[in-house]
Amino acid sequence: MTKKVIEEIEDLPGVGTTTAEKLRAAGFNTLESISVAAAGELMDAAGLGEATSTKIISAAREALEIGFESADKILERRKLVHRLSTGSEELDNLLGGGIESQAITEVYGRFGSGKSQLAFQLSVNVQKPEGEGGLGGACLFIDTESTFRPERVQQIAEANEMDVDEVLKNIFVAKAFNADHQMLLAEKANEIIEEHNIKLIIVDSLTSRFRSDFMGRGTLAGRQQKLNKHMHALKKWADLYNIPIFVTNQVMANPGLLFGDPTTPIGGHIVGHQSTYRIYLRKSKEDKRIARLVDAPSMPDGEAVFRVTSRGIGD
């Protein structure tokens, strides 16, 4: 008996026309998106049972040959990684060439340290051609603190001699009203990614809504579980579409630290483990900012000095 070839969602076992429509409506448009989903996500999306959802995911993974693979194949896939310039050569060098695709880059620091300014710069830079430090695509910007300013984007675009109207049209902004809304925006991001050639997702800031929605020690476990799910959703799109994810994070002071810098990022170990790159930003003299690479898979710890001016990020 010839084994059925699975090429479309309808070819999966247990998926009929109605189920396929429900899955697509929930954002599961491809075998790839189903293969990296959790059983609970398919259960919620199409009203399926756990056993059926697990069977569908397994079939999608088998069709795509998702499983163990040799390291040389992983190295070949790593060659597809893109780098997005920050606008500062010093900062790019610290990161091994810029903000990396297939990864989450987190920057944290006190207010005025340059987190949002870096986000604005990246939303412009991503629209440049690859040969000029960009990725030739649009930007999806999730704004959780009402800090997105198109006037600032306009300034940066003008300084880069880019078409301001086109730059603004290629930044798709969504304001998150609470943590659940923020999670939903991230989970549905693939719809906009595919429609508008999104090459960068920015969340500014990652933890603000979680911090305000979950107050007190009694809610900490629930908050961390949701943060974990949120970051997994972001990482899924980074891998699936080979794009960089850039998130800013708030900080708090650690009163128990007697020596050294007491500044600690919000989100604890969940955010720390899920972030591929962690960068600590702090203010220096005048318009200078200092970036310290706190964690990276293959780059040594180090520091870089850059400037935040009316023209944007630079050396």
**Whether 281 contacts 115, CB under 8 Å:** yes
Would you give per-residue pLDDT tens digits along the chain (315 residues)? 455 678 888 889 888 889 999 888 887 888 888 888 888 888 988 888 898 999 999 888 888 877 777 888 888 878 889 999 999 999 999 999 999 999 999 999 998 999 999 999 999 999 999 999 999 999 999 999 999 999 999 999 999 999 999 999 999 999 999 999 999 999 889 889 989 999 999 999 899 999 888 887 788 888 889 999 999 999 999 998 999 999 999 888 776 655 666 678 888 888 888 899 999 999 999 999 999 999 999 888 899 999 999 999 999
Q: Cα–Cα distance between 239 and 248 in angstroms, integer?
A: 20
Write down the pLDDT at residue 219: 85
Write down the pLDDT at residue 257: 59
Write down the pLDDT at residue 289: 97
Q: Which CATH class is domain 9-63?
A: mainly alpha
Domain residue extents for the chain: 9-63, 100-278
Q: Cα–Cα distance between 30 and 217 in angstroms, integer?
A: 40
Query: Which residue shows structure tokens 């009316």?
Result: 310
Write down the pLDDT at residue 1: 46
- Tallying the residues shown for the chain, one arrives at 315
For domain 100-278, give the fold: Rossmann fold (3.40.50)
Nearest to 111 by CA among 281, 245, 288, 264: 281
Query: Which residue shows structure tokens 């970051």?
Result: 231
Write down the pLDDT at residue 262: 66
**Whether 186 contacts 192, CB under 8 Å:** no
Residue type at 115 in one-letter notation: K
One-character DSSP codes across 250-295: -EEE-TT--SS--EEETTHHHHHHH-SEEEEEEE-STTEEEEEEEE
